[in-house]
Structure 1
Amino acid sequence: MSMRSDERRQKPLLQVLLPGPAEDTRGVAAPAASAAGSPARAPPLGSAAAGPEPPGPGAGGVARTGTVGGRSGAVSGPGPSADGRVSPAGKAQEALQERYRLGSLLGSGGFGTVYSGTRLADGAPVAIKCVARDRIRHWGELPHGARAPLEIVLMDKVSSGCLAVILLLEWVELPNSFLLVLERPERCQDLSGLLAERRFLPEEEARGLFRQVLETSCGVLHRDIKPENILLDLATGQLKLIDFGCGAFLQDTAYTQFAGTLSYSPPEWIHHQHYHGEAAAMWSLGLLLYHLVVGKHPFRRGQEIIWGRILFPQRLSQGGSSSLGRGE
């Protein structure tokens, strides 16, 4: 997902993410968004495409908003209006539209749908991520006790303490979805796009970027570290780790469920169906560093990961090859 700064096709926030005031949202599924297309509509709230409404926070029309990073936690949403004509979710939607304007589609997939946006108060660029409630598999608890999707809980933990992690500015819970408002550097590119343009990075440059990635733990296991999930601010050189949808809290015991990209999974997962967090993180970091300096992923198939046979180009220095492990 590349967060570009193109705002030429701005639209009102709710015109794209949410149904209009005269639209019936109780059974019409909107077409799925395409990352390659123009700004597209997410499934309307309450539509068949959004799936059934499970029990949990926000059920029954309750809407909540929250902020993170030193201001952590969900804040109780507005109660029903005196005349009962405006739902709490409707008020939350209207408040969000008053603060942000939506831009172009940045990416769409299992993680949700992400759009560029602008904060109206100061013109700051943001990214707005929409995640359907029925896609949320893991929940957690914020410091003050409120229940929220684990992605939000993890970002609440890391946003204020890790400079190399994208900042979650605020979030809104709606009956069938969650909206996450994230910082977005004005000029940025993910490392996958950078490698596509330059093939590989010089060792010194890769070393500096890699050092920033090492500062992103903060007690959280991302579980999907790869070039596509690392954003580079082209103006400052600062990296930002994005998309904590596969994340988990770091634990001492083994993980028995895999989340992330299979080609970045450690050999013990493929062979034994379990892995330890720190060891798996080190493995994925090693693959990332190889990808940066060589220009491609070292493995193409799962069996190659088990064999662990890695080849290094002759242009790499002795120190560069040693930092990646012994090769041929």
Structure 2
Amino acid sequence: GRAMPPARPRPRVGLSRARPRPSRRGLASARLWPCWRWRCWAGISAGGGGGIAAFCLRLARPRPRPRLLPGPAEHTRGAAAPAASAAASPARAPPLGSAAAGPEPPVPRSRERTPGHGRPGTGEGRSGVVAGPGPSADSRVPPAGTAQEALQERYRLGSLLGRGGFGRVFSATRLSDGAPVAIKRVPRNRVRHWGELPDGTSAPLEIVLLAKVSTGFPGVVQLLEWLELPNCIMMVLERPEQCQDLQRFIRARRFLPEEEARELFRQVLEAVRHCTSCGVLHRDIKPENILVDLDTGQAKLIDFGCGTYLQDTVYTHFAGTLSYSPLEWNDFGWYHGEAATVWSLGILLHQMVCGEHPFRRGQNLSWGQLPLPQRLSQECKDLIRWCLSMNSLDRPALEDLFCHPWMWDIPLP
């Protein structure tokens, strides 16, 4: 039949069971109960109702365990403890940084290996100042590496100017002299490449490139100051009193007359030539990245977040705006720096004189001829089509653009 389960042994009558040994937690609770009872009595008798509430909050809050500082701090009776704790705890981001907090969509970034592309460790905060004309010549701004004064004590934050995968840009005013500036906040995890400034300081590549091209040249936005915080990079940039990006400048007028477009286009060419002479490739030339001073008509190239070092060999990774990428990148996955720049300049000129992107409606470039309005001069049409040649070898060099008849308002024969 069926096997019966073994019978349980009956306890002997008159013998008590062995009591279980108390756990360590129980012993600790038993030992601490007199202490907690005394604290409760002290809290109740000290402050009445308010004392009880405060005491309950104090009991609910976990008490941190004391940390022993290794090394000399143990032998100096805590004399070195404040300095060690200040160095170990990262600097707190000022309200200017926290105002732009929030998730932002990622943006495709280049992966070329550049000098100093490694990411350094987070420190308690670093800063730097790039001297130059205008607002950056203020001697009251602290020198590099001594950012002890908080940004909110030197600048008054204004409205949001722009946002994107790079971060956010705010208008601000420098309190020392009332100069208008722009403060760009880039989350630290968005910084993909790092470089080295002339003084040996490690900095994001965008700051390194700006330091190469912005000092003393009016066609590129001036970097006034930068600050590295644990969670973000803050850049203080010049901002004209009355300014507008070229995209809005064109939309307000539908399109620009050739005379006005010629002057602005020449300034952009000079800025691009200056950058290439400094060994910098911008890689994101478009109307949104060109600032127009409405008082003086000066055009300034801004936003070097997609920039890199100029090289003679091909680039095999793209950074910038895909709608401005050259045909060779879309077809073969490579491009040369100068040929890609000329291509984007051709799109820029088309947007100036036509008011729209040449390929917004999906025109097929294999048709050969790009349709252009009849009102444009033949010289302007020739320059746009030359820059937008399907074969990169057929496009002009930067210096060829300066010599084109349209740039000098000379009719073609």
Fold in common (TM above 0.5): yes
**Equivalence map 1:5-84=2 (5 Å):** 14-18=94-98, 31-32=102-103, 56-57=119-120, 59=122, 61-69=123-131, 75-77=144-146
Residue-by-residue CA offset, 1:26-53 (whole Å, 9 max, x unaligned): xxx954589xxxxxxxxxxxxxxxxxxx
Report the identity percentage.
64
Residue-by-residue CA offset, 1:267-326 (whole Å, 9 max, x unaligned): 110011000001111111111011101111111377845766411100001221122127
**Equivalence map 1:193-232=2 (5 Å):** 193-217=248-272, 218=275, 219-232=279-292
3-state SS, counterpart of residue 182 of structure 1? strand
Q: How many residues align?
A: 269
In the alignment, structure 1 residue 321 sits paired with structure 2 residue 321: no
Distance across 2 between alignment mates of 1:110 and 1:207? 32
Distance across 2 between alignment mates of 1:76 and 1:122? 23
CA contact 1:33–1:113 (8 Å) conserved in 2: no
The structure 1 segments of at least 4 consecutive aligned residues displaced by more than 4 Å after TM superposition are 29-34, 305-309
The answer for the alignment partner of 1:267 in structure 2 is 327
Distance across 2 between alignment mates of 1:308 and 1:314? 18
In the alignment, structure 1 residue 100 sits paired with structure 2 residue 155: yes
Selected match of 1:157 from 187, 197, 212: 212
Question: More strand by proportion, 1 or 2?
Answer: 1
Q: CA deviation at 1:62?
A: 2.1
CA contact 1:267–1:306 (8 Å) conserved in 2: no
**Equivalence map 1:243-322=2 (5 Å):** 243-300=303-360, 304=364, 309-322=369-382
Distance across 2 between alignment mates of 1:68 and 1:305? 44
The 3 A distance-change label for structure 1 pair 212 and 113 is: same
Q: CA deviation at 1:15?
A: 3.3
The 3 A distance-change label for structure 1 pair 215 and 30 is: closer
Distance across 1 between alignment mates of 2:243 and 2:287? 13
3-state SS, counterpart of residue 102 of structure 1? strand
In the alignment, structure 1 residue 233 sits paired with structure 2 residue 293: yes
CA contact 1:65–1:76 (8 Å) conserved in 2: yes
Amino acid at match of 1:224: D
Distance across 1 between alignment mates of 2:131 and 2:314? 29
In the alignment, structure 1 residue 116 sits paired with structure 2 residue 179: no
| Structure 2 gaps, min length 5 | 1-92, 106-117, 137-142, 389-413
Selected match of 1:148 from 203, 207, 211: 203
Question: More helix by proportion, 1 or 2?
Answer: 2
Residue-by-residue CA offset, 1:77-116 (whole Å, 9 max, x unaligned): 46xxxxxxxxxxxx4xx53222111011111111111100
Residue-by-residue CA offset, 1:194-233 (whole Å, 9 max, x unaligned): 1111111000110000000011132311111001110100
Distance across 2 between alignment mates of 1:305 and 1:275? 18
CA RMSD of aligned residues (A): 2.6
Using the size of structure 2 for normalisation, the TM-score is 0.61
The 3 A distance-change label for structure 1 pair 306 and 121 is: farther
CA contact 1:290–1:297 (8 Å) conserved in 2: yes
CA contact 2:96–2:152 (8 Å) conserved in 1: no
Distance across 1 between alignment mates of 2:294 and 2:215? 22
Amino acid at match of 2:303: D
The answer for the alignment partner of 2:222 in structure 1 is 167
Using the size of structure 1 for normalisation, the TM-score is 0.76
Distance across 2 between alignment mates of 1:286 and 1:196? 18
Q: CA deviation at 1:76?
A: 2.7
Distance across 1 between alignment mates of 2:281 and 2:255? 26
CA contact 1:141–1:147 (8 Å) conserved in 2: yes
Query: Which entry has the higher C-alpha Rg, 1 or 2?
Result: 2
CA contact 1:140–1:150 (8 Å) conserved in 2: yes
CA contact 1:270–1:302 (8 Å) conserved in 2: no
The 3 A distance-change label for structure 1 pair 257 and 303 is: farther
The answer for the alignment partner of 1:6 in structure 2 is none
Larger RCO of the pair (alpha carbons < 8 Å, separation 6+)? 1
| Structure 1 gaps, min length 5 | 1-12, 20-28, 35-54, 79-90
Distance across 1 between alignment mates of 2:359 and 2:119? 41
Amino acid at match of 1:104: S
Greater shift, 318-327 or 199-208, is seen at 318-327
Q: CA deviation at 1:188?
A: 0.5
Distance across 2 between alignment mates of 1:273 and 1:170? 37
